[in-house]
Amino acid sequence: MASSPVSLIPAAPAGLTRRAKRFVEVEGLCVPQQDIELHRKAWIEHGIPAAEIDRAVAFQERWGGLALPPAPFYESGPRILGADVPEGSAAEGWWIPAGDCRVSMAYGFMIGPGGEFGIYGSRWAPLHASTEGWVESLALASHARRWAKTITRITGRTVDSLDLEGYEPVPEVLGLTDTWWRGKDSLIALYRGEAVGMDAPGCLEAHVYGGLDKWGLHGG
């Protein structure tokens, strides 16, 4: 008997906001991925702790195969989320690759020792406290682009002069190096990851989405 075709429509993992859930299920695709459990024995033989393999398996089960629209920064982000062999050591900690880059880049997307989602270039830059935060940031950027009357891009050290008085951090993005801020009629996304991960202050970037009403500011 022929097997049923695999659906390309992803089911959003639990715990996301309604906005991010819609983003994943409407704009994302689900692509078949490898079963990394098949590599467990070989990875253990190469000295990778079982606990780190468990983390990679858990990431793969929750996020593996999810293809999302391009991110507004970081050369559009990972092409497809998916774990691979953990990298690191007992002394430094362990990082799990989070998905292949869309283009050739000087850094990779990784899951950090504490579950953070970030980039690793010349150094580690944890962007969000979890992969959920990364997905929430993509969903918010997509929503803000759709509803903003103006979008202003600010680059380099000028980013540090942005006045955030009257703005509040957007909690659902779980920002670390990168953060989102919500004002009375605008949203600001601060992208500091490349500046930190590549030790390149000139890579600072901010996107200001202006002219937003209540729906534009929150979107569910």
Give pLDDT tens digits for 178-214. 999 999 999 999 999 999 999 999 999 999 999 999 9
- Model confidence at 219, pLDDT cuts 50, 70, 90, reads confident
Answer yes or no: is pLDDT of 92 > 50: yes
DSSP state of 175: B
Answer yes or no: is pLDDT of 46 > 90: yes
Q: Please name every residue paired with 152 in a beta bridge, in sequence order, or none if there are none.
A: 208
The answer to whether residues 118 and 110 touch, using CB atoms and an 8 Å cutoff, is yes
| Mean pLDDT confidence for 114-138 | 97
Closest CA to 55 of 108, 97, 101: 97
| Residue-level pLDDT at 8 | 84
Cα separation, 73 vs 25, in Å, equals 22
Token pair 């979890």 is found at: 130
What's the chain's average pLDDT? 94
Closest CA to 173 of 190, 159, 196, 150: 190
Note the pTM of the prediction, 2 decimals: 0.94
